[in-house]
Amino acid sequence: MAIYTIEKVQAITVGTSEKTLAVNYAAVIIKNLTPGTTLYFKEKSKDNKAVTADNGFALDGVEMLPVPLRAKTLSLRSTSASTDVRILYVKEEV
């Protein structure tokens, strides 16, 4: 099992319009902190398309992605005008 250290935590607000976030291939864990909402996200730099309910990965309210992922640019969108999201930047220990 991999062990990770926390590099930083970034708080962002995501609404119903696309928000892009450059994470530059850092390992990140995403958490949706707003009950009753769905947060959609995907890697944008692969196809330059904004996230939608059809092409994105969904995190329901107070749900967290259980493993780190790497991306150049994330595209995020929510079912609510003001969804509280945390991006946890982690580094795998060797």
Rounded CA-CA distance 20/41 in Å is 10
Residue 77 confidence (pLDDT) above 80: yes
Q: What is the pTM for the complete model shown?
A: 0.93
Residue 1 confidence (pLDDT) above 80: no
AA identity, residue 83: T
Average pLDDT over residues 21-42: 97
Domains and CATH numbers, the chain: 4-92 (2.60.120.10)
Q: Do the beta carbons of residue 5 and residue 68 sit within 8 Å?
A: no
AA identity, residue 73: T
Average pLDDT over residues 36-57: 96
- Give the chain's end-to-end CA distance (angstroms, integer): 11
* Token pair in block for residue 57: 């990965």
pLDDT at 79: 98
Buried b / exposed e across 5-17, counting CB within 10 Å, b at 16+? eeeeeeeeebeee
Name the nearest CA neighbour of 28 among 78, 77, 59, 65.
65
